[in-house]
Structure 1
Amino acid sequence: MDRNSPIVIGLDVGTQSVKLVAYDPQARQVAATLGEALELASGDDGTREQRAEWWIDAIRACFSRLDPALRQRTSAIGVSGQQHGFVPLDRAGNVLAPAKLWCDTSTAAECDLIMDAVGGAQGAIATAGNPIMVGYTASKLPWTREHRSQAYAQLATILLPHDYVNFWLTGERWMERGDASGTGWLDVRTRQWSDAMIAATDPDRDLRPCLPPLVEADAMFPIATAIADELGLPRGVRVSAGGGDNMMAAIGTGNVSPGVLSMSLGTSGTLFAYAGQAMVDDEGRWAAFCDSTGGWLPLICTMNCTVATEAVARLCDFSTKRGDELLAGTRPGAGGLLMLPFFNGERTPNLPDGRGSLFGMTATNLTPANLYRAAMEGAVYSLKNGYDAFVDAGMRFEAIRLTGGGSHSAVWRQMVADVFGLPVDVPEQAEGAAFGAALQALWASERASDAGADLPALAAAHVRLDPRLSAHPHAEATAAYATQYQRFLSHLDAIRPLYA
């Protein structure tokens, strides 16, 4: 490794932590990976919030632990952030209130109010390509108007989490179209703000001046001198447009051309694929997002993935690090236990007021191991339910690329392969979103001097799969899961009326 070659840094501001990946593109090696845990403020009404300064403090902590020599070699930074969060700023750039997050379901009623103004969910899809799902940024504005009226009155700029980090780094306010399409205000067909959806959010106030300008995926901005000095970085560092964590994970898993299916197993679970045109579903079965490369990213999101397994681990007083070991004596189907793991409400299926349910309990099968497996299986079944919509629409895939915390687990990997009946591959760099942000920064840097710099070629060169972590479906397990999955769908249909 050339100790003088430039490096690029990817930051991922997630729900549970901030991660930093320092990547040496010349050596094609990750030079450092660092992380800092984050707090989450929760309420029984579905509130899920964080303070923006927590993200900045965590970023500072990561940089403080990064080798000063690596900091001095940094040429560019890319930022990934949890989608849909609402960071309200006043005219001076001060944060007015805690950031309501993607997993905040307290604004479910506001989703309906906005959609009613444009003819319901079908009207929203016809207008901008997406219904306003629980957690989307648009629903947080009328909630803030009602519950934090002073902050709403002073509101001058609407930012998403990754936009706010970019603002802190550069002093500039902007959005790129991938993350912007998760607000509910972007018409994904035209890739421009929808005046109708903005007006539906607040008919008495024009919110358009609060939205920052949209920039292209390869845009770059200079880091603020004071921030460069504070972090020990060269003053010539540039910051790329960045994007939502799913958009960055797509880049980090090489999902920048058709035919690749990526799955991220973290607090939430997501499935996404690249498309060269807008993929709008008339029934709203998936999110018709733009991506952060200039294309589109049809995406399935479940709000409960490791949320469910961690809840069981806390209940049974063991560490999730022991999860694979605990499950060694269990079999597909969890001894008959079936969990609908909707601890945070749910987006896929669309049950924002849903709650977790456990079925099939007997005196012998209710063990910590079976309970943990049932939580894991329920999370994967929710993703399979979304995947079925992709298949119904004619999409076909030959393998799944797995990223996120769940990709570290051999049991998660094998379970996904068996439930979906597809081989599972894992990129060498497990922190897909942070790595993708670094690769976007690298691509944008190359585009600055060569307009023809090709992102698919760059991804093919830098995203490498780890054959030791691959998993292939086992016919017997696939059959067992298929039976249990049908039970999942039956129980799902049975409980829908309870949370409609």
Structure 2
Amino acid sequence: MSLVVGLDVGTQSVKLVAYDPSLRRVVATHGHALELIAGDDGSREQHAEWWIDAIRACFAKLDPSLRARVIAVGVSGQQHGFVPVDAAGKVLAPAKLWCDTSTQLECDEITANAGGVQHCLELAGNPILAGYTASKLPWTRKHRPGVYQQLATILLPHDYVNFWLTGERWMECGDASGTGWLDVRTRQWSASMLAATDPQRDLAACLPPLVEADASFAIAPAIADELGLPGNVRVSAGGGDNMMAAIGTGNVVPGVLSMSLGTSGTLFAYADQPVVSNDASWAAFCSSTGGWLPLICTMNCTVATESVARAFGFSSRDGDSVMADTAPGAAGLVMLPFFNGERTPDMPNARASLLGVDMANLTRGNAYRAAMEGATYALRNGYDAWLKAGLRFDAIRLTGGGSHSAAWRQMVADVFELPVDVPTQAEGAAFGAALQALWAHDHANGGSTALADLAREHVLIEPALSTRPDAKAATAYRNSYRQFLRHLDAAVSFYANR
């Protein structure tokens, strides 16, 4: 009757999933919304204390009888954020987030110091992109010099939550590979990339030790008491939200393609060796399972649909009905959904645009469809790079908020021309964190269960939500997608020197 808990510390909210492995059933799900500090310069920040308050609120909603059965907790967190902590464990400034594009100048400086993009790929497997943790350090040195001076430890969002839960500071390779400093081939910090970030300071001294994916730590007694949890709870290594969503969708063996339709859009697949792009077409990350996780990330997914819904005065929950009378191609409307700038392709200063407007097609239904199509096409554009590299997949496993939309599920199937399946547990990142916690707890107690076996046992597909491509719609989307790519080419040129 033991339970494991998965926490997902996202951009918009914190979610808690309590899972009963013996029944293979989620027994409780709770969430708490988060605010966002957005600046005109592209900055996006949150106070780390907001995450902790949200976690407290989620546990307070969990029935005490369920809390008493918890044996392990796993934490999923938004990637790339920077939480500056002093020697005493105090947070020194708001956390700069993955969607923060105010540090493009610092990205360029680090890249130049490292010898260019190609040398960055040789040193660590990834370029330095806006949003990655590395660029946030020189930005802080320039704009918050007092914080930089007091900085003792660099933590990512999920690392900070783990620190609060246990009093221990550590990182694991999946989330660490999103900093820009980890050599993903060797799973070690690149001294050259750290020196390129700040040649005057030993940043390695600010990085906590790297731990194995199946590691776990004891919860701090005071935190266990505060949350109403047993004192013997173990906290697993955790990982970035995409790494945890990979576990939650069963993407822990080669051949599976997962897609997350959240604030950002992501495609990711498991690999048993590093998969580095020679032209930086995708992110070459480690997984949080001991393998690797090639990943394509777009900065704008549900951001686009929610922005259009808000502008036209309806809820995105009603989006499917609003666009019910529209057709693939949105009557000629094309949206480049770059509300937060863009990462794939790398255009941090880009802005969203609505193109092809005429006297008849500017309706809320077409605008909403154009936003959904634009977000989907942006992911398809990244996927095309994988196809060119020879990667092939038989189906897509869909997760994230967008997976709740029947229209979006069908659109993904038609645009990618692949079957789409949806795991029973919709909160892929939180559920993945719970499964990692179960795996780590087993190993901490002398077990040797493989994570792939756990995933096969616990990640179930919901047949009622599966969909297959419609040939007629797929043809229409091909034409519309080509138009999207023409507009995208123009945008890449327009924003190249901005």
Query: Structures share a fold, TM > 0.5?
Result: yes
Alpha-carbon distance in 2 for matches of 1:100, 1:453 = 37
TM-score w.r.t. length of structure 2? 0.99
2:288 is the counterpart of 1:292 = yes
Q: How does 1:62-81 map to 2 (within 5 A)?
A: 62-81=58-77
* Matching residue of 1:334: 330
Tell me the residue number matched to 1:237: 233
Offset, 1:449 = 3.2
Aligned to 1:388: 384
> How far did 1:451 drift?
4.9
Q: 1:315 and 1:44 mapped to 2: Cα distance?
A: 19
Q: Confirm whether residue 144 of structure 1 aligns to residue 149 of structure 2.
A: no
1:4-24: per-residue Cα shift (whole Å, max 9, x none)? x11000000000000000000
What does residue 271 of structure 1 align with? 267
The equivalent position to 1:478 in structure 2, one of 453, 470, 474, is 474
For structure 2, the 5+ residue unaligned runs are none
Match of 2:304 in 1: 308
What is the DSSP-based 3-state SS (H/G/I as helix, E as strand, rest coil) of the residue aligned with 2:111?
A: helix
1:346 aligns with 2:346: no
The AA in structure 2 aligned to 1:497 is S
Q: CA deviation at 1:349?
A: 1.1
Q: CA deviation at 1:394?
A: 1.0
Distance 2:446 2:227 in 1: 29
Structure 1 equivalent of residue 163 of structure 2: 167
In 1, Cα distance between equivalents of 2:411 and 2:190: 41
Q: Which residue of the partner structure matches residue 29 of structure 2?
A: 33
Counterparts of 2:69 and 2:491 in 1: how far apart (Å)?
Answer: 55
One-letter identity of the residue aligned with 2:226 = E
Distance (Å, rounded) in 2 between the aligned partners of 1:496 and 1:294: 36
Matched residues in 2 for 1:495 and 1:47: separation?
Answer: 22
Partner-residue secondary structure (3-state), 1:427: coil
| SS in structure 1 at match of 2:324 | helix
Residue 158 of structure 1 corresponds to which residue in structure 2? 154
- Report what 2:44 is aligned to: 48
| Shift, 1:113, TM fit | 0.6
Following the alignment from structure 1 to structure 2, what is the Cα–Cα distance between the partners of residues 471 and 112? 43
1:14 to 10, 14, 39: 10
How many Å apart are 1:456 and its aligned residue?
0.6
Distance 1:43 1:156 in 2: 27
* Correspondence 1:121-132 to 2 at 5 A: 121-132=117-128
Match of 1:488 in 2: 484
Cα shift at 1:269: 0.1
Deviations 1:354-405 (A, max 9, x none): 0111111001100011001000000000000010011111111000000000
| In 2: Cα distance, 1:342 partner to 1:296 partner | 28
Render the CA deviation track for 1:295-337: whole Å, top value 9, x for unaligned: 0000000000001111111111100011011111010000100
| Residues 407-429 of structure 1: per-residue CA shift (max 9 Å, x gap) | 10001100000000000000000
Which of these residues, 226, 232, 247, is aligned with residue 251 of structure 1? 247
Matches of 1:348 and 1:383, distance apart in 2: 8
Structure 1 residue 497, shift from structure 2 partner:
2.0
Partners of 1:118 and 1:139 in 2: CA distance: 13
Please state whether the residue corresponding to 2:294 is helix, strand or coil. Answer: strand
Helix, strand or coil: the match of 1:280?
A: coil
Q: C-alpha deviations, 1:187-235, integer Å up to 9, x for none?
A: 0000000000000000111111100000000001000000000000000
**Paired position in structure 2 for 1:204:** 200
Aligned AA (2:375): A
Q: Distance in 2 between matches of 1:202 and 1:323?
A: 47
Matched, 1:23 2:40: no
In 2, distance between residues paired with 1:120 and 1:476?
A: 45
In structure 2, distance between residues paired with 1:297 and 1:150? 36
Amino acid at match of 2:294: P
In 1, the alpha carbon distance for the partners of 2:117 and 2:19 equals: 43
Does residue 1:115 correspond to 2:111, yes or no? yes
**CA apart distance, 1:450:** 4.0
User: C-alpha separation between the residues in 1 aligned to 2:447 and 2:141?
Assistant: 44
Q: Distance in 2 between matches of 1:412 and 1:495?
A: 25
Shift of 1:34: 0.5
SS at match of 1:328: coil
Task: Give deviations 1:97-116, integer Å, cap 9, x for gaps.
Answer: 00000000000111111011
Q: What is the aligned residue count?
A: 496
Unaligned runs of 5+ in 1: none
For residues 496 and 63 of structure 1, the distance between their equivalents in structure 2, rounded to whole angstroms, comes to 45
Q: 1:347 is aligned with what amino acid? A: R
Using the TM superposition, give the Cα deviation of residue 444 of structure 1 relative to its aligned residue in structure 2, in angstroms: 0.8
Identity score, percent? 72
Q: Which of 363, 380, 402 is equivalent to 1:406?
A: 402
